[in-house]
A and B are shown apart, each in its own frame.
Chain A
Amino acid sequence: MAAMAKSGPVAVLAGDLGGRLFYAVLLAAAVLVPLLNLAVPEGSLLHLSGFSVTLIGKYMTYALLAIAVDLIWGYCGILSLGHAAFFALGGYAMGMYLMRQIGSRGVYGDPLLPDFMVFLNWKALPWYWHGFESFPFAMLMVVLAPGLLAFAFGWFAFRSRVTGVYLSIITQALTYALLLAFFRNEMGFGGNNGLTDFKDLLGADLHRPAVRIALFLASAVALGLGYAACRLIAASRFGRVVQAIRDAESRTRFIGYRVESYKLWLFAFSAVLAGIAGALYVPQVGIINPSEFSPINSIEVVIWVAVGGRNTLYGAALGAVLVNFAKSWFTAALPEVWLYALGALFVLVTIFLPQGIVGFVRQRLGGKS
């Protein structure tokens, strides 16, 4: 660890086998997926359907979310059971921009109001919907909405030294409260239907194959950059203090570090990453609704991280992709078995693979990272 910190950023990123593999796979996907989708003719065996491109793109946003959770759970010991809330907030910010882009092409043809507002007989656009017609403003909100919420929440929670299980439970309460709030039609976010029927992004039709590929590549780039950022943070001086907090919080405080500030900045950054993942997720799946806030979703993210292996970052990404791939496969082939499989996975991983798949492989390879 210490040796890594001395060298430059490239050395940090390429310093471990897992990280090199992560980038290799990401690069391969970024090259192969567009190639197989656009260049290979549709009848061919090697052709990748548009559906699959979107699916892989979706997995990448999940992987980014998992990395965000691993950054605070694996490196700082903060188990957030509300990270899906930040993901959903980023998604809603993006969704609001996409809704404004529909303009007068909605079912009711109102140039200003989204369909659901016309349906609810609203006369004017609520103040918080203004500005979202501009892409830069919407992107700013993708970062600010989850970031500020996390900052405010963390400000209260960490300064009053709420830790461990208690913190997990209040993060769960946070996402539950948001779930209830976003279900209300009066909130102005489309109630339980959420935001959908998106048409285009930056003037490009969302249903065109090229736009799909562009979104996929954007997700891949975001995942790569997000991983790099987390890895660099973890290897930095800041990151080493954070890991000290995870291992012995009181001792770190007594040495003289302001534990709450470290936790606060890390938590807010992690929330921003989750928000960016959500913003990339929404245009690919074409809908955002309040069920994204449900506490179950946040717990599932934690499971991805646990399955892949916490405290490794690439393990979190691996877990997210594997679990979601299994979910897609099971729900299509054996829908009634999926919950058994997922449930059993949680139990078995926590009991037999406390370090996840990555930890298991490392052990097999000789107990060294």
Chain B
Amino acid sequence: MRRPSILAGPGWLMLAGLIWLLCHNTVRADDAAPAPLPADYAGLLAALPQADYADKAQIVHNLAVLAAPHTREVLAALHDGRLETRQGDGKLFLVEERGDALALTDAVSFAAAGEGKPDDFERVRTNNALRRAIEVALAQLDLGDTSPKVRAAAVRQMRQHLDEDLESALRQRRGQEQDAGVRHQIDLALAVADLGSGDAAARLAAVRALDGETAPDVYNALAPLAGAGGAAPTESDPQVLAAAIAAVRHIQNWRDFYGALETLFFGLSLGSVLVLAAIGLAISFGVMGVINMAHGELMMLGAYTAYVMQQLMPAHPGAALLLSIPAAFLVSGAAGVVIERTVVRHLYGRPLETLLATFGLSLVLQQLVRSVFSPLNRSVVTPQWMSGLWQVNELFSITWIRLYIVIFMLLVFALLWLVMNKTSLGLKVRAVAQNRGMARAMGIRTERVDAMTFGLGSGIAGMAGVALSQLTNVGPNLGQGYIVDSFMVVVFGGVGSLWGTLVSGLSLGIVNKLLEPYAGAVIAKILVLVFLILFIQRRPRGLFPQKGRAAEGM
């Protein structure tokens, strides 16, 4: 795509024909040699399907050296398994699926060649080693690209598979390269090559050049010299050895730093999930004192809302997902209001009984979802703009989805905080929570406020469910896995405290991820649970306990 086509189709055809003739002559001349490879583009391509993997790699290499105008596209197609031979005449085509048919592009002329039936074509087979050879060949081709970015990426690619050919290609390129950034990349690659040089001075210069580079392949090239990881160092010259050890230590420091950063971020994103799951509970349990065991199922309803919205708008999964956030709030919120009016209302002041009744409701909701949507998991599509990685540098990358979850959690938290502290509903909710009788005496319709509060907590759970639909399977059991965790988060943070919920969710997430490398995921989780059990013994009212008379009665 990037590459402008130099030769138009027909002109290229003539040239190919000419080379084809030449090729026939050369083949005849070398009759004695054991099956030599053709030297021209079309001939090389024609030999490709029947060759064994070693020959294929050689053909790929030769094609890259020839650098015909469409070599790049053809090699890319071979790499991705889109290069196929037509049964019958054995001609090679780049294919692209178009409905049931294949759109064809002739590999030699690179002209569109109509459509074909998939059954008539056979893919040119590749294996891992061959695909790696293709990647190197593509990088070699990219070395001549007009964009410095592409050239730099090509150099990095080549650095990981250095051999004499690539080294000399890089040295050649070094002379003519105009862009300073690409030159630096080439110097690094050549330095990696020089690490194996017989000259101690060259090795020393190479080690110094690589000092502070964070790329994993540079580290892997340097580490044996310095004898990292308990192995005996392969470097014999003391000066080079000292420099190599220093360089490895620097790189190790950076790796540790980014490793810690990554752990922190993983912890933050896990913590965000915990906060999202718990924050609705912080309202219904924390403010109203209702133990809502159906909280997980309200999240599940939110996740299913996302699924239904995407089914309604199959063409726009991203927009459907965004719309499902308010929709899930409404669906789960409405379910919450109904639950409050029909069940919870009868059980105020008897927290243990609400626990049992809402647990019954959770069973009913699970079975309802099973009856309506089937017991199987449903998949919610992740929109394009949420998938993939943000590669900050070679050692540190962030999946977009985790970043969005953190942002979404902060937004939900901010929204809830505003509702609770800046709206009249929030004022009434807090008033009823602090002193029901007094609030009623001031003219607040406590029954209405109860329903709205429970609905708010449930609606937030629904929004959390939309976020969860991007992380886990959407199935009838989605909610169950979060119920113990969310109660722990609320209790750890201090019942009735939104900030406490935020702090406790995030810190539990980070602690969990910090423990994981040492203890494994399951043990880490068990340790966190044991820690929480012990913590509650010390401070039964959590990190941020509610103060005042109202808190005593709970």
Contacts and interface: CB of A to CB of B under 8 A. Distances in A.
Nearest to B367: A339
A157 B538 CA distance: 9
Nearest to B532: A173
A177 B360 contact: no
By size class, the interface of chain A is: 35 or more
Interface in B538-554: 538, 540, 554
Interface string B302-343: 000000000000000000000000000000000000000001
Interface stretch (B74-82, B111-119, B348-356): B348-356
Given A166-B491, A173-B532, A340-B367, A347 B522 contact: no
Interface stretch (A44-52, A179-187, A199-207): A179-187
B346 interface: yes
Specify the main secondary structure of chain A where it touches its partner.
helix
Contact of A166 (B366, B484, B530, B536): B536
A344 interface: yes
Name, among A160, A166, A174, A347, the residue most crowded by chain B CB atoms within 10 Å (CB to CB): A347
B56 interface: no
B488 A344 contact: no
Contacts of A346: 356-357, 359-361, 363
Contact of A351 (B346, B487, B522): B346
A173 B533 contact: yes
B436 interface: no
A345 B347 CA distance: 16
A342 B361 CA distance: 9
A296 B366 CA distance: 13
Contact of A170 (B291, B368, B525, B533): B533
Given A346-B359, A351-B357, A173 B537 contact: no
A299 B351 CA distance: 14
A160 B537 contact: yes
A303 B352 CA distance: 11
Contacts of A11: none
A79 B352 contact: yes
Interface string B187-220: 0000000000000000000000000000000000
Given A177-B529, A180-B525, A183-B522, A162 B360 contact: no
B47 interface: no
Name, among B354, B359, B484, B491, the residue most crowded by chain A CB atoms within 10 Å (CB to CB): B359
Contacts of B533: 153, 156, 170, 173-174, 177
B526 interface: yes
A159 B488 CA distance: 20
A342 B360 contact: yes
Given A79-B352, A184-B522, A350-B353, A176 B363 contact: no
B370 interface: yes
Contacts of A109: none
A284 to B, nearest CB: 26
Contacts of B346: 351
Interface string A298-342: 010011001000000000000000000000000000001001101
A351 B361 CA distance: 13
B484 A295 contact: yes
Name, among A306, A339, A345, the residue most crowded by chain B CB atoms within 10 Å (CB to CB): A339
Nearest to A173: B529
B367 A180 contact: no
Contacts of A295: 483-484
B281 to A, nearest CB: 11
B522 A336 contact: no
A172 B484 contact: yes
A343 B362 contact: yes
A176 B484 contact: yes
Given A173-B484, A342-B360, A343-B364, A157 B343 contact: no
A18 to B, nearest CB: 22
Given A172-B484, A177-B530, A160 B538 contact: yes
A181 B526 contact: yes
By size class, the interface of chain B is: 35 or more
Contacts of B483: 295
A310 to B, nearest CB: 10
Contacts of A161: 540
Contacts of B68: none
Contacts of B351: 164-165
A343 B554 CA distance: 27
A166 B522 contact: no
A354 B538 CA distance: 33
Contacts of B487: 169, 172
Nearest to A296: B480
Contacts of A252: none
B364 A339 contact: yes
Interface string B287-311: 0000101000000000000000000
Contacts of A306: 356
Interface in A244-293: none
B510 to A, nearest CB: 19
B360 A344 contact: yes
B65 interface: no
Nearest to B533: A170
Nearest to A163: B540
A168 interface: yes
Contacts of B538: 160
Given A339-B364, A340-B364, A343-B367, A156 B537 contact: yes
Interface in A112-151: none
Nearest to B528: A177
A161 B540 CA distance: 8
Contacts of B484: 172-173, 176, 295
A282 to B, nearest CB: 24
26 contacts: A153-B533, A156-B533, A156-B537, A162-B536, A162-B540, A169-B487, A169-B488, A170-B536, A172-B484, A173-B529, A177-B526, A184-B523, A295-B484, A299-B293, A303-B359, A303-B360, A336-B370, A339-B363, A339-B364, A339-B367, A346-B357, A346-B363, A347-B357, A347-B361, A350-B353, A354-B353
Given A165-B291, A169-B491, A172-B487, 13 more contacts: A157-B537, A160-B538, A164-B554, A165-B351, A169-B488, A170-B533, A180-B526, A180-B529, A299-B293, A302-B356, A303-B356, A339-B363, A344-B360
Q: Which 5 A-B pairs have CB atoms at the shortest separation, nearest pair first? A: A346-B360, A343-B364, A343-B363, A339-B367, A160-B537
